[in-house]
Amino acid sequence: MTTDLHCDVAVAGGGNAGLCAALTAREAGASVIVFESAPRDFRGGNSRHTRNLRCLGPEYPEEEYFSDLMRVTAGRTDERLARITIQQSQEASGWMRRHGVRFQPSLSGTLHLERTNAFFLGGGKALLNAHYAEAQRRGIRILYDAEVIALDGPGGAVRVRGGEEIRFRAQALVAASGGFEANLEWLKETWGPAAENFLIRGTPYNKGTVLRMLLDAGAEPVGDPTQCHAVAIDGRAPKFDGGIVTRLDCVPLGIVVNREGRRFYDEGEDLWPKRYAIWGRLVAQQPGQIAWSIIDSKARGRFMPSVFPPVQAESVAQLAAKLELPVDAVEETVRAFNRAVVEGRFDPTELDDCRTEGLAPAKSHWAQRIDRPPFFAYPLRPGITFTYLGVRVDERAAVRGMQRIFAAGEIMAGNILGQGYLAGIGMTIGSVFGRIAGKEAARAAGH
Ligand SMILES: Cc1cc2nc3c(=O)[nH]c(=O)nc-3n(C[C@H](O)[C@H](O)[C@H](O)COP(=O)(O)OP(=O)(O)OC[C@H]3O[C@@H](n4cnc5c(N)ncnc54)[C@H](O)[C@@H]3O)c2cc1C
């Protein structure tokens, strides 16, 4: 192994948090190297799948933002760090603008975020391209295909393409390498073999290598190690990197059956934006970790178009046969559901009075008989967005229990987001703490 890389600040991970840290450290005068596991074409981690970040604004004051966060986390947040994130969110988006990132008005079909979230023009991919172009202009060295595999204080070793290992020495390190959502072995520790059937919505490179090394070296953990954010996505999505287009919004408009052809949860419990995040877990608990959303022609055109076409048939029996589900069981489930539907005034924009009676599980809203051909079905599988386990940091982004090691982004998001999710806060945490970590790492390196 050769010892040939030296810098003031090393950054492990080239997503939004890592690049925000790298640029800030460089602006403070530090020499910076970014190690990015992925090859150049796949750089940018999960950040490249994003669309927006949540920030304060004239119409979205701090107290409302904070109470939104308290609601989703049920109080599992470090208030000091949460307040820093919120207070600096507006400045972070301004800083991004000055660094070549462009924003656009919010898109339609985005779960009502126009007041609270700023949307990246061209999405996360364009954001990352802007960050990398800026990094190059400012003389930041980027190593692609370079996975940090060992830590020795703020230095360590990276494995580069071809398997060669290179040692690096740095005055300070910023860990910005995401969670461990792409590490199926690690997910199996909680979920057992079921994890094999999970789809990972983002990058295959977030394996938690750096997180594990920091925890092993004495960093204080934060966030529930057994939890992950999972949504139900199209079961035909690729194993990794399917991104946002694989989301399916048809669940409240029909019924969902498992491999045995049985319903297992109230599809109409609440408005879809409030419920879509529980369906990943629900499907994960079903045999084979798969389910099917079944709708009839009345539901077509009422939800965001799917990326894969639905399976279609002229009768429920034919549909079940095409899906290779037990035909009798599916027919009986649909019959029982149809019998239990109480007529009401159907309104998909509110909690309407179309419900079932005497059915278990009930469908509380938007219950309409599945009786108008053609019939359609979409397979659903759990799509993992991120994991919650991270390292505890202070307000300087310093990793508790470590010297000259800082953390930003998903790897420390559990300090603020102990559970649940608030759309757009992942990128806000990465942007705010990326900049703090970059500044503090440069300072620790004497700048
Ligand atoms: C489909 C999808 C959509 C999302 N949409 C949004 C959204 O619109 N708004 C929002 O706020 N959040 C969204 N999120 C969450 C958001 O992606 C994360 O909160 C955010 O990207 C975290 O940024 P990060 O820089 O910490 O991690 P990442 O962007 O994931 O970057 C981590 C980087 O570290 C690299 N890496 C990992 N291990 C190593 C190692 N050992 N050595 C070197 N490099 C390593 C990876 O290659 C990767 O590039 C979404 C997530 C997904 C999956």
Based on the structure, what is the number of domains in the chain? Answer: 2
Query: For ligand 1, atom 33, which residue shows the shortest CA distance?
Result: 13
Any alpha helices (H) in 117-205, and if so which ranges? 123-137, 184-191
Structural domain ending residue among the three candidates 367, 382, 397: 382
- Name residues whose C-beta falls within 8 Å of residue 124's C-beta, 6 or more positions apart in sequence: 16, 44, 47, 48, 49, 50, 51, 427
Structure confidence at residue 303 (pLDDT): 92
Q: Can you give the pLDDT at residue 3?
A: 57
CA of 427 relative to ligand 1 center, distance in Å: 8
Residue whose CB lies within 8 A of the most ligand 1 atoms, among 34, 46, 211, 391, for a mutation test: 46
Sequence-ordered list of residues with C-beta below 8 angstroms from that of 54, at least 6 positions apart, any chain: 65, 89, 113, 116, 117, 118, 422, 423, 424, 425, 427, 428
Looking at the structure, tell me whether residues 299 and 159 fall in a common domain: no
Per-residue confidence band for 156, with pLDDT thresholds at 50, 70 and 90: very high
279 and 157, same domain (yes or no): no
Asked if residues 261 and 272 have their Cβ atoms less than 8 Å apart, the reply is no
- pLDDT at residue number 109: 57
Residue pLDDT, tens place only, 95-147: 999 999 999 987 665 556 888 999 999 999 999 999 999 999 999 999 999 99
Same domain, 202 and 68: yes
Distance CA 347, CA 366 (A): 7
The last residue of one of the domains, among 347, 382, 417, is: 382
% of the chain beyond a pLDDT of 70: 98
Distance of alpha carbon 300 from the chain centroid: 28
Residues 292, 405 share a domain = no
- Residue 10 to residue 59: CA distance in whole angstroms: 38
| 218: alpha, beta or left? (left if phi > 0; alpha if psi -120 to 50) | left
Are 346 and 329 part of one and the same domain? Answer: yes
CATH number at residue 52: 3.50.50.60
Which residues span the domain enclosing 356? 231-382
Closest alpha carbon to 385 in 357, 350, 422? 422
pLDDT tens digits, 389-431: 999 999 999 999 899 999 999 999 999 999 889 999 999 999 9
Question: Do residues 371 and 293 both lie within one domain?
Answer: yes
CATH number where 363 lies: 3.90.700.10
Question: Residue 282 above 60 pLDDT?
Answer: yes
Instruction: Tell me the sheet residues that pair with 309.
Output: none
Instruction: Find the Cα–Cα–Cα–Cα dihedral 61, 227, 222, 272, rounded to 10°.
Output: 0
Statement to judge: residues 301 and 178 lie in one domain? no
pLDDT in tens, 337-353: 999 999 999 999 899 99
Strand-pair category, 155-159 with 341-342:
unpaired
Cα of 48 from ligand 1 centre, angstroms: 7
221 and 238 part of one domain: no
Nearest to 66, CA basis, from 53, 84, 91: 84
pLDDT of residue 352: 96
Q: What residue has token string 């004239």?
A: 58
d(Cα 305, Cα 64) in Å, to the nearest integer? 32
List all residues whose CB is within 6 A of at least one atom of ligand 1: 12-18, 35-38, 44-47, 49-53, 147-148, 176-178, 201-203, 205-207, 209-210, 243-244, 385-386, 409-410, 424-427, 430
Same domain, 206 and 263: no
Nearest CA residue ID for atom 11, ligand 1: 424
344 residue type, one letter: G
**Residue with the two structure tokens 């986390």:** 73
Strands 405-407 and 221-222: unpaired
Dist. CA 48–CA 430, nearest whole Å = 13
The reported pTM is 0.95
pLDDT digits (tens, 9 = 90+) for 49-101: 999 999 999 889 999 999 999 999 999 999 999 999 999 999 999 999 999 99
